Structure 1
Amino acid sequence: MQTLQSLLAVGALSVATLAQAAIPYNNTSYEFTQPNGKTITLFLQGNDYYAEQRTADGRLVIYDKALKGMAYAQVSADGRELVSTGQLVGGLTTPRASTVGKPQAGLTDLAKAAQVEKMRAHMLGEQGGLHTAMVDTSSPEEISGQVKGLTIIIDFPDERGTITKAQVERFLNDLNYNEFGNAQSVRGYFRSVSGDKLDYTNTVTQYYTAKKNKAYYADSSLSATVRSQELINEALQWLEYQQGFDFSQLTTNSSKQIRGLNIFYAGNSDSAWSKGLWPHMARLSPRFCADGVCTDRYQITDMRASLAIGTFVHESGHLITNWPDLYDYDGSSEGSVASFGVMGYGAIGTTNRYKPTPPVAHFRAIAGWDTVTELNPAINANAPSGRLSHTSDSGTSYKWTNPANSNEAFYIEAIHKSGQNSEQLDQGLAIWHVDSRGTNSNEWYPYIQMEHGDGNRDPEYKRNRGDGSDLFDVAGEFTQALPNAQTSRGTNALWWNGSDSGLRISDISDPAQTISFTLDSATQPDPDTYTGTLSDKQSAIEPNGSWFQYSGGTIGLTLSGPASADFDLKIEKWLNGAWQQVAISESPSSTESINYSAGSGYYRFVVYSYSGAGSYTLRVSK
Structure 2
Amino acid sequence: MKVKFTLCGVALVCANAFAAIPYNNTEYSFTQPNGEQITLTLNGNDYYAEQRSQDGRLVMFDDALGGMVYATLNQAGTDLASTGILVSDRASRLTHQQREQAATTTNQQGLSSEAKAALVQANMQTMLGLALQQDGSVAEQTDELTHSHTFEQTSDASAQISGNVKGLTIIIDFPDERGTISQQQVERFLNDTNYNEFGNAQSVRGYFQSVSGNKLDYTNTVTRYYTAKKNKAYYADSSLSSTVRSQELITEALNWLEFQEGFNFASLTTNSSGGIRGLNILYAGNSDSAWSKGLWPHMARLSPRFCADGVCTDRYQVTDMRSSLAIGTFIHESGHLITNWPDLYDYDGSSEGSVASFGVMGYGAIGTTNRFRPTPPVAHFRALAGWDTVTELNPAINSNAPTGTLSHTSDSNTAYKWTNPANANEAFYIEAIHQSGQSSEQPDQGLAIWHVDSQGSNSNEWKPYIQMEHADGNRDPEYKRNRGDASDLFAYAGEFSNTLPNAQTSRGTNALWWNGQDSGLSISNISAPGKTVSFTVGDTVIEPPVGETYSGNLQDKQQAIEPNGTWFQYAGGAMSLALTGPSNADFDLKIERWQGGAWQQVAVSETPISTEQISYNASSGYYRFVVYSYSGAGNYTLTVTK
Structure of greater Rg:
2
- Determine if contact 1:57/1:99 at 8 Å carries over to the other structure: no
For the pair 1:106 / 2:109, whether they are aligned, the reply is: yes
Residues 122-521 of structure 1 aligned to structure 2 (within 5 Å): 122-124=123-125, 128=129, 137-140=148-151, 141-487=159-505, 489-521=507-539
- Structure 1 residue identity aligned to 2:331: V
- Determine if contact 1:137/1:322 at 8 Å carries over to the other structure: no
**Matches of 1:245 and 1:197, distance apart in 2:** 28
Secondary structure of 1:281 counterpart: strand
**Matches of 1:151 and 1:79, distance apart in 2:** 42
> In the alignment, which residue of structure 2 is the partner of 1:611?
631
- Structure 2 residue identity aligned to 1:60: L
For the pair 1:536 / 2:592, whether they are aligned, the reply is: no
**Matches of 1:490 and 1:174, distance apart in 2:** 45
Question: How many Å apart are 1:78 and its aligned residue?
Answer: 3.1
- Determine if contact 2:127/2:243 at 8 Å carries over to the other structure: no
Question: How many Å apart are 1:573 and its aligned residue?
Answer: 12
- Structure 2 residue identity aligned to 1:139: T
Change (3 A) 1:34 1:560: farther
- Determine if contact 2:420/2:427 at 8 Å carries over to the other structure: yes
Secondary structure of 2:125 counterpart: helix
> In the alignment, which residue of structure 1 is the partner of 2:51?
53
For the pair 1:20 / 2:51, whether they are aligned, the reply is: no
Question: How many Å apart are 1:541 and its aligned residue?
Answer: 9.9
**Matches of 2:163 and 2:349, distance apart in 1:** 37
- Structure 2 residue identity aligned to 1:104: N
- Determine if contact 1:23/1:311 at 8 Å carries over to the other structure: yes
Q: How many residues are paired up?
A: 591
Question: How many Å apart are 1:427 and its aligned residue?
Answer: 0.4
Secondary structure of 2:391 counterpart: strand
Question: How many Å apart are 1:58 and its aligned residue?
Answer: 1.3
Secondary structure of 2:206 counterpart: helix
CA RMSD of aligned residues (A): 3.8
Change (3 A) 1:605 1:70: farther
- Determine if contact 1:73/1:84 at 8 Å carries over to the other structure: yes
Change (3 A) 1:66 1:247: same
**Matches of 2:618 and 2:14, distance apart in 1:** 32
| Residue identity (%) | 71
Secondary structure of 2:382 counterpart: helix
Question: How many Å apart are 1:609 and its aligned residue?
Answer: 4.1
Comparing 88-97 and 195-204, the one that deviates more? 88-97
**Matches of 1:126 and 1:618, distance apart in 2:** 56
Change (3 A) 1:544 1:484: closer
- Determine if contact 1:336/1:443 at 8 Å carries over to the other structure: yes
Please, which runs of 5 or more residues in structure 1 have no aligned partner? Answer: 1-12, 548-552, 599-603
> In the alignment, which residue of structure 1 is the partner of 2:154?
none
Change (3 A) 1:545 1:146: farther
Secondary structure of 1:486 counterpart: coil
- Determine if contact 2:20/2:299 at 8 Å carries over to the other structure: yes
- Determine if contact 1:346/1:356 at 8 Å carries over to the other structure: yes
Question: How many Å apart are 1:89 and its aligned residue?
Answer: 1.4
Once the two structures are superposed, residues 284-320 of structure 1 have per-residue CA deviations (whole angstroms, 9 ceiling, x without a partner) of 1111111111111111111111110000111111111
- Structure 2 residue identity aligned to 1:116: A
Change (3 A) 1:161 1:282: same
Once the two structures are superposed, residues 222-262 of structure 1 have per-residue CA deviations (whole angstroms, 9 ceiling, x without a partner) of 11111111111111111111111111111111111111111
**Matches of 1:273 and 1:152, distance apart in 2:** 22
TM-score, structure 1 length as denominator?
Answer: 0.86
Change (3 A) 1:536 1:106: same
Once the two structures are superposed, residues 57-104 of structure 1 have per-residue CA deviations (whole angstroms, 9 ceiling, x without a partner) of 112110001111111111223322221101111285268469879952
- Determine if contact 2:16/2:128 at 8 Å carries over to the other structure: no
Comparing 438-447 and 94-103, the one that deviates more? 94-103
**Matches of 2:333 and 2:616, distance apart in 1:** 49
- Structure 2 residue identity aligned to 1:362: H
Question: How many Å apart are 1:435 and its aligned residue?
Answer: 1.0
Please, which runs of 5 or more residues in structure 2 have no aligned partner? Answer: 1-10, 132-136, 141-146, 152-158
- Determine if contact 2:357/2:483 at 8 Å carries over to the other structure: yes
- Determine if contact 1:156/1:214 at 8 Å carries over to the other structure: yes
Once the two structures are superposed, residues 459-511 of structure 1 have per-residue CA deviations (whole angstroms, 9 ceiling, x without a partner) of 11111111111100101111111111215733111111111111111111110
Change (3 A) 1:530 1:150: farther
- Structure 2 residue identity aligned to 1:78: A
Once the two structures are superposed, residues 425-468 of structure 1 have per-residue CA deviations (whole angstroms, 9 ceiling, x without a partner) of 11000001111111121111111111111111111111111111
> In the alignment, which residue of structure 2 is the partner of 1:7?
none
Question: How many Å apart are 1:559 and its aligned residue?
Answer: 10
**Matches of 1:379 and 1:592, distance apart in 2:** 29
